[in-house]
Structures are given as C-alpha cells and as structure tokens.
Structure 1
C-alpha cells in the first residue's frame, strides 16, 4: 500500500477559501474534499459491525471485508456478502445525519469545491443517505467496496482514483480526506491528502496519530477552518512557510 505513494509527515496547509484570504496567500489551493460515509456523513452505526461478525462467525479482531475475500469459493463469498448487505439495508433505515452536514455541503457548493465519497459501504445505503439528506448535492465519483478494480480503505486506491478523475496531476496533494476511522486517515495520508478526523466517543485515540492532520467535533467546524485557511496541527520536520 505505502509503495503506491508515500506522504511524509509534514504540516499541511491550504489557502483560505474566502476571496480576500485567497488573494493574500501563496499556500496551495484546495481542489476537493473526499468524505467517508458511515460515522462521517451520518452518525456512527457501530452496532452493525458486531452483527456482521456474529453473522459470519468471526472474531472482532478480524477485518470483515478481508475475511470475505479469503473465503474459498465465489459462492461462499457471495453468501457472506449478502449477509452483510442485509444488515446494512436494515441499518440504513435508521441513518441520522451528522450535525452540520447540510451547512458544510452548502458552503462547499457555494465555493465550488468538488466533493466525492470513498466508503467501505455498498452503494444502496450511500444513495439512501444522499437522497434523504442531501438531495440537492452532487458527489462524483462515489467509491464503494463494490467499485471494480479498487481495493477498499485503508488502501489509497479509491482516493487516488478520485484525484485522477478530477484531472489532478499530483495525486492527493490538493485534497482533504474527512473520516472517522484509522482506515480513513491512513488512506488519505498515504494518497498524499490532508486528513480531518471527525471525533466521536470511540476514536479519540487517533487525535495524535501520525496520519491525522486535524480534528473536528462537528462537520460545520470545517467552514471556519477552510474560510480562514486550513492548517494541520502537525508541525513536521520541514514544513513550508506560507504567508
């Protein structure tokens, strides 16, 4: 994974999105933001993972998607995947949007910042969330675990694919990955993107992780951060200086 693209530990910055701030800054421009879905756009539904592991008869330390991929036959893999989808379909009926979700997306739309999704969910719950809570917003591309030819997070393949679709020549360097898990932080960091951790009751230990650039408690906190200029908390050994 790291061999595809290795991002050094350095402070990440982007020019302010406000017109006056952008004109006075020589920091890199933000070209787009990639969002995780479960636990990021909607409130966490962590109970699903216990149900999934019980349905598959696996220990909590085993990665669910990795387990399915290692099953001996296509039939066994399909049967296991269908069990997982059934749990996700039931959970999607109870999705609740994160506080500040619509406000942040309205702001990014006004600033013409591209948005994409990169999730380990399958597509149906993702479309359900967008249709119910963000019907006026466009996310392209949408990368799910079913997107052919791309490994799921923590591999950076999905984020690198998004950067390529957007015509960016420097991989994830002008992007931010927003998520709530170590998979999100690692995928974003390894792709070269800045990373933002949306804090919850279970991920506080990732605040100081080397792959986390910034932490927020609500999605709409990003509005002020982006308007004034994104500055990651990590100082880095050779952090560039911008005025």
Structure 2
C-alpha cells in the first residue's frame, strides 16, 4: 500500500449517529423482561460502545451468567423490533455534518474509511442500509468477531485488511473505550464531544485531539498526520 494512504476508523453510536433513544428503550425492555430494575439513562449511555455481553455485565453485576444472557437476547430482540417498525434515519439520525463529512472524505483519493463498533453485524448492516451508505467503508469491524473495546483487535483487523501501518490510521470516537482502543493499537485518536462520554473522559483516556463539530475534522486530521 502507498505510504500516502490514510485510514480513518469511525465509531458509530455517539459518533456518526445519535441512537441513544433506541439504545435506552431497548435496554429498558430487556431488563423489564427479566423483572430487574432498569438502570438509569446515564448508566446505560455510559456503556455504549462496549460489546453487548460486556455492557450487560457492567449494568447488572449482581446477576448470574444465565440471566445476563437472557438480557442480551432480549435486548437484541427489542432492538430488531424497533428497526422493523421505525425508519432508522429518524430513530438513529446522523449528527449534524456527519453525512456530508463522510462523502467529503470518501472523495479524497488517499483516504480510506473504516468502522469499529460495538454493534453486531446485523445491527450495522441495518444502519448502513437504512442510511444508504453500503460500500463507503473499506473495512467494517463489529462486535460479533472481536473482544470488546478497548481491546485493540478491531483496529488490528482493520489495519490488516487495508495493509496500512498504525501511523497511517486514526480512530474517531466519542467514548473513552474508543480512545483506549486506539492507544492499545498504537494509532492516534480524535475524540468527539457530542457523544456519550464527556470531554474529561476523552482527555483522561488519551485522546490526541477533541473536536466539537464535524467541520473541524479535516484540520484535526491534518494536525494528527503532521506530527
């Protein structure tokens, strides 16, 4: 691969799309299905980005493995039902500027784009299809086949699939898990302030830069790769 190529790896929930209402309502349905008190909204949003079994274990540490597995299955069913009943472009809308930025970056000959998400393959496929973005990402890493963030497996797979070195890649995400995953994989990171973790959390997790709007991303990328 050319040394001039660059890979931008995006998280999804909280970074590209605002899916918090879907996530919170599905989690509520899942916990209610096993008669366990539903975690509050802030607790639920704090685990967005983790693989679902790890997230459920953190939200219900008092339950046994079998019950946690029931909650996981109930969450998946509730989320799939919501997807079937509602327009994903409405329930999981892009953040302002996200779609335009993806198309802007996709038009650059030296830029490749990828995804590293805690979503399942089924969930990501539904999202990309619903938003008409199939084929725009050259590598798509999902929770089904990797350890949960912040393990570096997803980024390592993305680098392997694209043939790029760590210094040619950057992770863009909204949680401390994204920043830590990037650091664990040896790539640089850009935090976004509009998602589910605070600026302080992103900074403490080692974000190289933090941006407040999508039109700041090109300058942030230039700064990252000038280092």
TM-score, with normalisation over the residues of structure 1? Answer: 0.68
| 1:47 Cα offset (Å) | 6.7
The structure whose RCO (Cα within 8 Å, separation 6+) is larger is: 1
Matched, 1:193 2:166: no
Which whole-Å CA distance do the structure 1 matches of 2:17 and 2:218 have between them? 18
- Kindly tell me the number of residue pairs found equivalent between the two proteins: 199
Residue pair 1:98, 1:218 contacting (<8 A) in 2 also: no
| 1:197 Cα offset (Å) | 0.9
Distance 1:51 1:114, change over 3 A: same
Aligned position for 1:86: 77
Q: 1:176 aligns with which of 170, 176, 182?
A: 170
Which whole-Å CA distance do the structure 2 matches of 1:184 and 1:210 have between them? 9
| 1:221 Cα offset (Å) | 2.0
Q: 2:133 aligns with which of 128, 132, 135?
A: 135
Which whole-Å CA distance do the structure 1 matches of 2:76 and 2:216 have between them? 32
Which whole-Å CA distance do the structure 2 matches of 1:179 and 1:90 have between them? 27
Matched, 1:167 2:163: yes
Which whole-Å CA distance do the structure 2 matches of 1:87 and 1:54 have between them? 7
| 1:180 Cα offset (Å) | 0.6
Aligned position for 2:108: 111
Matched, 1:41 2:29: no
Unaligned runs of 5+ in 1: 1-27, 233-240
| 1:30 Cα offset (Å) | 5.5
For residues 109-152 of structure 1, the C-alpha deviation after alignment (integer angstroms, 9 at most, x for no partner) is 111311111111122332232223343652132111112xx202
Which whole-Å CA distance do the structure 1 matches of 2:112 and 2:19 have between them? 24
Bigger Cα Rg: 1
Unaligned runs of 5+ in 2: none
Q: 2:149 aligns with which of 150, 153, 164?
A: 153
| 1:83 Cα offset (Å) | 1.1
Matched, 1:123 2:121: yes
Distance 1:91 1:152, change over 3 A: farther
Larger relative helix fraction: 2
Which whole-Å CA distance do the structure 1 matches of 2:24 and 2:198 have between them? 15
Residue pair 1:35, 1:179 contacting (<8 A) in 2 also: yes
Matched, 1:203 2:198: yes
